[in-house]
């Protein structure tokens, strides 16, 4: 119910302005009863609007530019372009073209790449092409470097922790400030706990592409209530809350078991924002039918076409959680996962002025980055 002050791209403590500088606002805006919330952060998005981040092109940048522009209307102010399992040549061509950058009128900020694979399990490959999957050879971390070519712009790596030598890889990635996520895996709970003890902090799309929960060995899902997590550490988990990938009851179970770790991700593919039909996901062809996306000719789910604001609304509806909780799952929690909560994911003083105006039904009305309006609903009616 109070005012939000922004200056020079940051959220301002107004006391400083009133008492030290004796200043006042240059521009005042009536938010007309909107909810103001931190901008959404999508840490797993494979593409959208016809663009596929796992396709190597010489003009990769124009594709990321288009997606970063288009997701502003869905409340996303920063994101991690995600590459699914690909041949080394694709990583070598694409990764040098991804640059970490701030958001603005040109589009959402890029926080770094999320590399999902190729060091994942054959049994739980999901929509990832089997011929590109790899194991860690003798020089495990060197192997990973040779596959990716460079880790300069990499923020998250998803791998299967049951693979031999994965512990040393997790430790090395951790040392470089890269978040390790467990996914596409047949790991049992003790393998998952060991990975967390070595530094893994995230679970890629919980329940999808992992062993189903079993009461004698709950697998990766068991990390949500494990008592073997190092003190002071939190395990986060991504969920695709689109009503397709996880039954609302599964969403409720996860949320009730570990509410502070839930991170909403879209796992969106190139077909997001496009008409039903055939589209790509890396090396595969996918078919979109409503909100369902399958590897062509199969019933294997392959990413989603849900937008982040849709996921937030579905999550709130499915769990009956508070509006604040739903918004934090798309803003505060991903920021905490990436260790950037001092800059993003909150409306605290001195954090980046990336925020949204939403109506009570959680539809985005306007998107702001660094205190500047970058998208507004009624601008489309002109």
Q: How far apart are CA 69 and CA 107, in angstroms?
A: 4
Q: How far apart are CA 224 and CA 213, in angstroms?
A: 11
- Is 331 marked as binding a ligand? no
Q: Is the dihedral of CA 117, 121, 124, 126 positive or negative?
A: positive
68 touches 289 (CB < 8 A): no
Q: How far apart are CA 63 and CA 53, in angstroms?
A: 8
Closest to 26 in 3D by CA, of 7, 12, 1: 7
- Is 150 marked as binding a ligand? no
- Is 209 marked as binding a ligand? yes
372 touches 382 (CB < 8 A): no
Q: DSSP string of 130-154?
A: GGG-----SSHHHHHHHHHS--TTE
Vertex 158: Cα angle to 112 and 115 (nearest 5): 40
Q: Checking phi first, is residue 34 left (phi over 0); if not, alpha (psi -120 to 50) or beta? A: beta
Q: How far apart are CA 306 and CA 292, in angstroms?
A: 10
In the residue annotation, 267 being an active-site residue is answered as: yes
Other CB atoms within 10 A of residue 341 CB: 18
- Is 184 marked as binding a ligand? yes
- Is 205 marked as binding a ligand? yes
- Is 216 marked as binding a ligand? yes
- Is 303 marked as binding a ligand? yes
- Is 258 marked as binding a ligand? no
68 touches 79 (CB < 8 A): yes
Instruction: Point out the catalytic residue in the list 42, 52, 242, 267.
Output: 267
The CA distances from residue 234 to 200, 212, 229, 338, in Å, are 10, 22, 7, 12
- 121-136 core/surface letters (b: 16 or more CB in 10 A; e: else): beebbbbbbeebbbeb
Binding site feature residues for Zn(2+): 116, 184, 205
Provide the annotated binding site for substrate. 127, 208-209, 216, 245, 301-303
So which residues are the catalytic ones? 267
What are the binding residues?
A: 116, 127, 184, 205, 208-209, 216, 245, 301-303
């Amino acid at each position: 119910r109070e005012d939000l002050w922004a200056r020079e791209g940051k959220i301002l403590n107004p006391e400083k302005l009133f008492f030290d500088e004796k200043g006042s606002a240059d521009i005042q805006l009536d938010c007309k009863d909107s909810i103001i919330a931190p901008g959404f952060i999508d840490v797993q998005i494979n593409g959208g609007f016809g663009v596929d981040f796992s396709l190597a092109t010489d003009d990769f940048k124009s594709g990321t530019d288009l997606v970063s522009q288009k997701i502003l209307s869905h409340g996303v102010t920063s994101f991690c372009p995600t590459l699914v399992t690909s041949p080394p040549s694709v990583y070598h061509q694409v990764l040098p073209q991804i640059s970490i950058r701030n958001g603005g009128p040109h589009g959402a900020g890029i926080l770094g790449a999320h590399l999902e694979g190729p060091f994942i399990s054959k049994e739980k490959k999901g929509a990832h092409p089997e011929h590109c999957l790899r194991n860690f050879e003798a020089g495990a971390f060197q192997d990973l470097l040779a596959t990716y070519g460079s880790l300069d712009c990499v923020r998250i790596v998803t791998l299967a922790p049951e693979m031999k030598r994965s512990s040393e890889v997790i430790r090395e990635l951790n040392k470089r400030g890269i978040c390790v996520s467990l996914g596409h895996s047949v790991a049992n709970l003790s393998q998952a706990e060991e990975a967390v003890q070595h530094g893994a902090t995230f679970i890629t799309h919980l329940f999808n592409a992992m062993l189903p929960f079993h009461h004698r060995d709950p697998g990766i899902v068991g990390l949500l209530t494990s008592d073997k997590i190092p003190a002071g550490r939190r395990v986060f988990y991504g969920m695709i809350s689109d009503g397709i990938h996880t039954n609302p009851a599964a969403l409720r179970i996860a949320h009730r078991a570990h509410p502070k770790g839930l991170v909403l991700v879209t796992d969106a593919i190139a077909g997001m924002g496009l008409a039903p039909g055939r589209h790509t996901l890396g090396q595969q062809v996918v078919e979109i039918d409503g909100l369902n996306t399958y590897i062509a000719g199969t019933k294997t789910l392959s990413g989603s076409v849900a937008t982040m604001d849709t996921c937030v609304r579905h999550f709130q509806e499915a769990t009956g959680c508070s509006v604040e909780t739903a918004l934090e799952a798309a803003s505060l929690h991903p920021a905490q996962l990436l260790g950037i909560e001092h800059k993003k994911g909150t409306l605290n003083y001195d954090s980046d002025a990336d925020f949204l105006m939403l109506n009570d039904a959680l539809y985005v009305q306007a998107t702001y980055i660094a205190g500047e309006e970058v998208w507004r609903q009624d601008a489309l009616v002109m």
